[in-house]
Chain A
Amino acid sequence: MKQAMRSNPKYVQGKPFAVKIGMFLLFLFAGSAAQAQVTYDRLLHADKEPQNWLTYSGGYASKRYSELKQINRENVKDLQLKWVHVFDTRNKIENTPLVVDGVLYTGDTNQISAVDALTGRTYWTLDHTVDPKGVFVLPMNKGLAISGDRLIWATLDGHLIAVDIKSGKPIWDKVIAIWHKGYQLNVAPLIVKDKVILGPATNEEGANCWVGAYDIKTGDELWRYTAIPGPGEPGNDTWPGDSWKRGGGSIWVTGSYDPETNLTFWGTGNPNPGWNGDPRAPGDNLYADSVLALDADTGKMKWHYQFTPADEFDWDSVEIPVLADINWEGKPRKVMLWANRNGFFYVLDRATGKFLLGKPFVKQNWNIGFTPEGRPIKDPTFKSSFEGTFIEPGVQGGTNWYSPSFSPRTGLFYIPSWQNSSQISAKAPAKWVEGERYTGVGHPAGAAPQQRPRHGGGGLATGGYGNAAAFRKDEEGYGAIIAVEPQTGEKKWEFKMNDYTESGVLTTASDVLFAGGREGNFFALDARNGEFLWKVGLGATVASGPMTFSLDGHQYVGVCAGNSLFIFGLPE
């Protein structure tokens, strides 16, 4: 470097040479500090650089909480739209963008982009054509992962692609799941050390799913933990005959990581066929509807907890494991907080998997208690049927894949919830054919319209008949952001929406909570008491987890609604 400068007379004119060198080195240092590579150490301490948003859930503990506090309870009402990024799709976008040192990375199933976080101007885009022969019922992508010089993108049709962060060019591209065997990739991958961790989902096609680790340098598979155990493996005896071969156990959302125990936690989806347990009875159908605690280096299972044994109502454990350090019975305890689709809020010890608490956060009619070990005791009258069974919550659950949040300041856990949701669910005979839906779902006989599924469309924030929520009374279902005290499972406050919500929740160190819903509103609440602070109508469903970042001392909040990403900030 020195020699190069000496050879260039421009650099040795004017100021003394040593000063010039110093300035240049300073410039170089500043430049590299502004756009340093995302190391494992940075990911470990993501909370120490709240100006960035480095992982899908904002850090390994998946709290979706930020230390930023410039936007506060007083000035949040002044938020203004700064820019919009429109995705090349008509799908609703479920993406949470990443922001690293002024560059925002976002995308969907067919395209990802690097965008200037200040202006929204695009640096580059990379297209991926999803195999049009594949019929993907859930064409969604939750987001990207970043490590070193590369982004990791898991595509709907089973590609895992490493992309150069500067050029948008693929570095490697591996097919890790074969779509025509019933697989799809929806998750934002999780980077732990030198590994990319993620798994495929099956949209009720009976394909057995797994959590896998892939070499970040090459994409080669390093370990795999299959959610449905084969013969000779523990848990296989919870599947009669060869029913385990078509068990499902999807990975729909990103897991978490606890560096102290080196465990990575992943929720698994429902057993297949989802609505008819007959082909897989008797048995609990492990490890469907469970959380798996896996050693991040080897993929060995340390513990598991099954939220819904022998599920027949699609109650995937499709939630983000939130890792919190809280006071438990007078002592600090490292726990996992989990609001499940089955309507219960759980607290587990994250080192051992010990069940600490299970309490409903919505109306439910399936569970009459827990054994001391934490096994749910099902109401004996609660069974699937061909003619239809009244279930609370409905098939979409008390919550779903929407990111919750935990604020260490308020000590509260925030759940995007479907209150008073219910449904008549009926089963039907199920026959497995590779690559076809294996649901066993039936149609309730003679159900009055009011008893049919009420979850509505959830696309654009339209009125009229397409929006069933517009005509609903509270007792027929509504959406709410609720705040739950982890120690008791008690609801501390509730913020009601008319329609249900698919929005994640973000909390910040200024005790501002951001969330949205199917109504198309994005809003801010006081995280301490749920008091309404601000809203904006974005015209289409908010089905993504909000995030925040800062640039040059200005804090911004981002959220996707419909097919666009909206970035808000305070007036300059």
Chain B
Amino acid sequence: MDMTYRSKCIVSLGSMFVLSFAVSAYAQSLPEGQGKAEFQRICGNCHSVSMATSQRMTQAQWTDVVNDMVSRGAQGSQQDLDNVTSYLATHFGQGAPPAASAMPAAAPAVAKESPLSDEEVTKALGLIKANGCLSCHRVGGTGSYVAPDLSDVGASYSAEQIRAALVSPNKDVAPQHRSIRLVTKDGKTVTGRILNQDGFSVQIIDSSSELRSFLKANLREFTIITTNPMPAYADKMSAEDMNGLVQYLSSLKGLGNP
């Protein structure tokens, strides 16, 4: 989609501010219960608590996650950590309601002004899957990184802009979404999306969603691709489906925009 898109690649003070704002906003809608405070303090110290609350897992799985987090630097007493595990298993266990209804603010978020029914969301997600969107794009934690992540597309673009991008995509992709084709000196071809480059090296996310860096001296070919691979969907779905898809995408405001 040819859009000026707020990339999440940039770690700026601005986005950190937004993120921390988001964390506190979510906290207000967390269910009450033993371990809530520890969960907010320990887990929210490093990431949005919605990273956890958007998941549904068994007690054993949550225990593994918490242990994994401890190995990555999460800090708390054993009692604190047990409380966190218990809180997550109680409120975000496999039997708990799905994230979208339990946590209206969690990603993919639903705009308050135009709430979509579960049925509409399910239908839109079905369209996204059926039309192969996720082979390039990413929505709510699944899909490819090659094209822009759409999880907050509604925060930056109007429904009209989103519809236009689906119906008749621009011929050229916006510069920050350009893809790249590299051929290494030993003949390997790599394609992906450019994340950064300088005179000596280039950083990409490749078609297998791996972050990779290449020295330009080791490349035989370096081609920036400006054309937009996005197909036009005007004739590929019914007007009703298109409306539903546009409505759903517009409702995606991302983590930073609760």
Partners in one complex: yes
Q: Judge whether A465 and B199 touch: CB under 8 Å.
A: no
CB closest residue in chain A, given B216: A498
Q: Does any Cβ of B come within 8 Å of A28's Cβ?
A: no
CB nearest neighbor in A for B175: A471
Q: Mark A492-515, 1 if CB is under 8 A from B, else 0.
A: 000011110000000000000000
Contacting residues, chain B, for A535 (C-beta < 8 A): 200
Asked whether any CB of chain A lies closer than 8 Å to the CB of B197, the reply is yes
- Chain A residue contacts of B178, Cβ below 8 A: 471
If A467-B196, A498-B199, A520-B198 touch, does A449 touch B10 (CB 8 Å cutoff)? Answer: no
Q: Which residues of A contact B60 (CB under 8 A)?
A: none
Q: Considering only CB atoms and an 8 Å cut-off, how many residues of chain B contact the other chain?
A: 23
Which of B1-9, B64-72, B102-110 lies at the binding interface?
B1-9
A470 touching B199 in the complex, CB below 8 Å, given contacts A449-B4, A464-B7, A465-B9: no
User: Contacts of B174 on A, CB cut-off 8 Å?
Assistant: 449
Residue A450 CB within 8 A of the other chain: yes
Chain B 134-177 interface residues, beta-carbon cutoff 8 Å to A? 172, 174-176
A72 within 8 A of B: no
- State how many angstroms separate the Cβ of A519 from the closest Cβ of chain B: 4
- How near does chain A come to B172, taking the closest CB pair, in angstroms? 8
Residues in chain B near residue A465, CB distance under 8 A: 5-7, 9-10, 176
Interface footprint category on A: 20 to 34
A470-B195 in contact (CB<8A): yes
- Evaluate whether A471 and B194 lie within 8 angstroms (CB atoms) in the complex, with A449-B174, A519-B199 already known: yes
Q: Which residues on the A side are within 8 Å of B6 (C-beta)?
A: 465
CA distance A519 to B12 in the complex (A): 17
In the assembled complex, the CB of B245 is this many whole angstroms from the nearest CB of chain A, namely 25
1/0 per position for B202-217, CB-CB distance to A under 8 A? 0100000000000000
Q: Find chain B residues with CB under 8 A from A466 CB.
A: 10, 12
**Are A472 and B10 touching (Cβ within 8 A)?**
no
Complex CA–CA separation, A471 to B224 (angstroms): 8
Assess whether B176 is in contact with A471, with CB atoms less than 8 Å apart. Answer: yes
Nearest residue (CB) in A for B193 is: A471
Q: Looking at chain B's contact residues, is the secondary structure mostly helix, strand, loop, or mixed?
A: loop
User: Shortest CB–CB separation between residue A335 and chain B, in angstroms?
Assistant: 32
Number of interchain pairs (Cβ within 8 Å): 61
Provided the pairs A465-B6, A465-B10 are in contact, do residues A472 and B175 lie with their beta carbons within 8 angstroms? yes
Contact of A521 with B by CB under 8 A: yes
Complex Cα spacing A464 to B178, Å: 12
The reply to whether A499 and B12 contact each other, CB–CB distance below 8 Å, is: no
- Residues B10 and A468 in contact, CB atoms below 8 Å apart: no
Query: Chain A residue with minimal CB distance to B177?
Result: A471
* A519 proximity list for chain B (CB < 8 A): 198-199
Q: Which residue in chain A gives the minimum CB-CB distance to B3?
A: A449
A459 to chain B: closest residue by CB:
B12
Counting chain B CB atoms within 10 Å of each CB, which of A464, A520, A535 scores highest? A464
A226 interfacial contact with B, CB 8 Å: no
> Which chain B residue lies CB-closest to A535?
B200
Complex Cα spacing A463 to B201, Å: 12
- B226 lies within 8 A of chain A by Cβ: yes
Contact A521 B195 (CB under 8 A): no
Name the CB-closest residue of B to A454. B175
Annotate B1-31 by CB proximity to A: 1 below 8 A, 0 otherwise. Answer: 0001111011110000000000000000000
Q: How many angstroms between the C-alpha atoms of A468 and B4 in the bound complex?
A: 12
CB nearest to A521 among chain B residues: B198
Set of chain B residues within 8 Å of A472, measured between Cβ atoms = 175
Q: With both chains docked as a complex, state the minimum distance between the C-beta of B196 and any C-beta of chain A, in angstroms.
A: 3
Q: Collect the chain A residues with CB atoms within 8 Å of residue B195's CB.
A: 463-464, 470
Residues of A within 8 A of B9 (CB): 463-465
Give the distance to chain A from B7, nearest Cβ to Cβ, in Å: 4
A496 and B5 CA atoms in complex are apart in Å by 28
Are A463 and B226 interface neighbours, CB within 8 A? Answer: no
Q: Are A464 and B10 CB-contacts (below 8 A) given A471-B224, A497-B199?
A: yes
B224 contacts A473, CB within 8 Å? Answer: yes
**Are A450 and B200 in contact (CB-based, < 8 A)?**
no
| Chain B residue at minimum C-beta to C-beta distance from A537 | B198
Query: Which residues on A sit within 8 Å (CB–CB) of B198?
Result: 461, 497-499, 519-521
- Judged by a CB distance under 8 angstroms, whether A462 is at the interface is yes
- In the complex the two chains form, what is the Cα distance from A465 to B12 in whole Å? 11
Contact of A470 among B12, B196, B200, B226 (CB under 8 A): B196
List, in ascending order, chain A residues with CB within 8 A of B200's CB: 521, 535
Contact partners of A461 in chain B: CB under 8 A: 198
| Contact in complex: A498, B224 (CB < 8 Å) | no
Please report the C-alpha to C-alpha distance between residue A473 and residue B178 in the assembled complex, in whole angstroms: 10
- Interface centre among B12, B172, B178, by most chain A C-beta atoms within 10 angstroms, is B12
Name the residue on B nearest A450 (C-beta): B175
Report the separation of the CA atoms of residues A467 and B195 in the bound assembly, to the nearest whole angstrom: 9
Instruction: Please indicate the chain A residues that have their CB under 8 angstroms from the CB of B203 in the complex.
Output: 463
Top 10 nearest A-B pairs (CB, nearest first) are: A463-B196, A464-B9, A519-B198, A465-B7, A471-B175, A464-B10, A497-B199, A470-B196, A466-B10, A465-B176
B residues in contact (CB < 8 Å) with A = 4-7, 9-12, 172, 174-176, 178, 194-200, 203, 224, 226
Q: Given contacts A450-B172, A471-B178, list 8 more A-B pairs with CB under 8 A.
A: A463-B203, A464-B176, A465-B6, A469-B197, A471-B176, A476-B175, A521-B199, A535-B200
List 17 A-B pairs, Cβ < 8 Å: A449-B4, A450-B172, A462-B196, A464-B7, A464-B176, A467-B196, A468-B176, A470-B176, A470-B194, A470-B197, A471-B178, A471-B194, A472-B175, A473-B224, A473-B226, A498-B198, A520-B198
